[in-house]
Amino acid sequence: MYQNMGKIAFKKDLTNTIKLLEYLDNPHQGNTKWIHVAGTNGKGTVSSILSSVLIEAGYKVGLYTSPHLVDFTERIRINGKKIDEEAVIDFVLRISPIIKSIKPSFFEITVTMALDFFSRSNMDFGVIEVGLGGRIDSTNVINPMLSVITSIGMDHMDMLGNSIEEIAFEKAGIIKSRISCVISKDISVNAKNIIYKRADELNSTITESKRVSDELLNKFPLSGNYQKQNLSTAFQAISVINDLQYPISNENINSGLRNIVNNTGLRGRWEIYKSSPLVILDTGHNIDGVSSNINQLRSQYPNKIIHVIWGMVNDKDRKSILSLLPKEWKYYVVKPQVPRGLDSQVLATEMNSNKLNVQKFQNTNDAYNYLIESIDEKDLIFIGGSTFVVADFLKSELV
């Protein structure tokens, strides 16, 4: 599966997903109103904002996101409640004959499971986050009422292309004929040109997000600076949903933002885990995400000693990302607990070559316990570098 194996598990067409859905009598073609969300960064947050606001507006909402942090059932939720393990088992048993026949990937099975579960539960809305890219992602079998593209940056180049234009082409693949698409205002001109060209071919309307105030960001419980872009994209999407005659009030929006964690289980996005010492978790793992985190840490905490628990997977652009890391910080290197996690000794060697102050640890829990026992309470601990480093930490805290 992609979460564990990377590129080797990536399927470059929709054939298996379509066959799985046909086997189940095409549950995605029912009455559920789908909202499809793609993007390099921010798609999980925007999907969660939309879901939370729609829940507060009184709708029954299915939310599909990936990857999970602690438990598989996080990926499929109805009004915030995770799918039951029994429902997962029942689904796999029901499709076991076709699994043996076509040998679908983990992701193909999971997407089909979500669409089937939402259909059987009679959703008003289903908010579906793209797994990877868009055009040939397994989620791209739905016919949405609205498509959303949050951002476009350099990530997963080995599968999506080595230029912004190539990656934009893959993201633009979720645009459907005569269906509105909301895009982030901050997408580069070159990427926008690709998106607008695709929209013109399909007679689809593109709406760009508008700026939101710093005051609104300050009210949002997920306080990463990058959330301003996500909020503006989500707000524009909400405006389009309103225009499509699905009423959403300002109070629904405010309560949706306020209750996003309870309504969606969203975690690891500039999450303040502990206040003394200050511990921040963030899943940012590509050039744009890491750069944003570094800038915010430097600007917001200029006088703190910063300790970073850091790990990466082996298919990232490490040279570019490691060159961004400040040399005055202290780093505690771990291997993410997935098969494609980068060996901590390899990472430590590369970071030492960049003249970074590095110590190596067996896992995130060991590094965290060492820091809690040894640093001043006025210092700051940042945990990141990979979604899976954050996931490992959250799992260890449950033990």
12-24 tens-digit pLDDT: 789 999 999 999 9
Token pair in block for residue 268? 């690891």
pLDDT-derived band at 2 (thresholds 50, 70, 90) equals very low
Q: Is the preceding peptide bond at 67 cis, omega within 30 degrees of 0?
A: yes
Look at residue 371 and tell me whether its pLDDT is greater than 70: yes
Radius of gyration from C-alpha coordinates of the chain: 21
Token pair in block for residue 321? 């990302």
Residue 217 is predicted with a pLDDT of 77
Q: Measured between alpha carbons, how far is 344 from 331 in angstroms, rounded to an integer?
A: 12
Average pLDDT over residues 69-94: 97
CB 342 within 8 A of CB 353: no
Identify the CATH assignment for 271-398 out of 3.90.190.20, 3.40.50.720, 3.40.50.300, 3.30.540.10: 3.90.190.20
pLDDT tens for residues 257-283? 999 999 999 999 999 999 999 999 999
* Among 59-63, 97-101, 219-223, the range of highest mean pLDDT: 59-63
Q: Measured between alpha carbons, how far is 133 from 160 in angstroms, rounded to an integer?
A: 7
Look at residue 9 and tell me whether its pLDDT is greater than 80: no
CB atoms within 10 A of CB 201: 11
Look at residue 297 and tell me whether its pLDDT is greater than 60: yes
CA-angle at 238, arms to 237 and 242, nearest 5°: 120
> What does the mean pLDDT of the chain come to?
93
Weakest mean pLDDT among 215-219, 274-278, 310-314: 215-219
Q: Is the preceding peptide bond at 277 cis, omega within 30 degrees of 0?
A: yes
What is this structure's pTM? Answer: 0.93
Do domains 2-264 and 271-398 share one topology? The answer is no
Q: How many C-alpha atoms does 260 have within 13 Å on its Cβ side?
A: 24
Domain limits of the chain? 2-264, 271-398
CB 138 within 8 A of CB 17: yes
Distance of CA 376 to the CA centre of its chain: 33
Q: How many C-alpha atoms does 166 have within 13 Å on its Cβ side?
A: 10
pLDDT tens for residues 92-136? 999 999 999 999 999 999 999 999 999 999 999 999 999 988 999
Tokens 């190539």 found at? 166
**Superfamily per CATH, domain 2-264:** Mur-like, catalytic domain (3.40.1190.10)
The percent of residues in the chain predicted with pLDDT above 90, rounded, is 87
Tokens 């780093």 found at? 331
SS3 letters across the chain: CHHHHHHHHCCCCCHHHHHHHHHCCCHHHCCCEEEEEECCCCHHHHHHHHHHHHHHCCCCEEEECCCCCCCHHHHEEECCEECCHHHHHHHHHHHHHHHHHHCCCHHHHHHHHHHHHHHHCCCCEEEEECCCCCCCCCCCCCCCCEEEECCCCCCCHHHHCCCHHHHHHHHHHHCCCCCCEEECCCCCHHHHHHHHHHHHHCCCCEEECCCCCHHHHHHCCCCCCCHHHHHHHHHHHHHHHHHCCCCCCHHHHHHHHHCHHHHHCCCCCCEEEEECCEEEECCCCCHHHHHHHHHHHHHHCCCCCEEEEECCECCCCHHHHHCCCCCCCEEEECCCCCCCECCHHHHHHHHHHCCCEEEECCCHHHHHHHHHHHCCCCCEEEEECCHHHHHHHHHHHHC
Look at residue 308 and tell me whether its pLDDT is greater than 60: yes
pLDDT tens for residues 128-167? 999 988 999 999 999 999 999 999 986 554 556 568 999 9
CB 171 within 8 A of CB 134: yes
Weakest mean pLDDT among 183-187, 211-215, 273-277: 211-215
The percent of residues in the chain predicted with pLDDT above 70, rounded, is 94
Residue 223 is predicted with a pLDDT of 85
Average pLDDT over residues 193-204: 97
Residue 216 is predicted with a pLDDT of 77
pLDDT tens for residues 313-330? 998 889 999 999 999 999
pLDDT tens for residues 65-74? 999 999 999 9
Tokens 């046909």 found at? 22
pLDDT-derived band at 1 (thresholds 50, 70, 90) equals very low
End-to-end CA distance of the chain: 25
Residue 155 is predicted with a pLDDT of 58
CB 241 within 8 A of CB 248: yes
Residue 397 is predicted with a pLDDT of 74
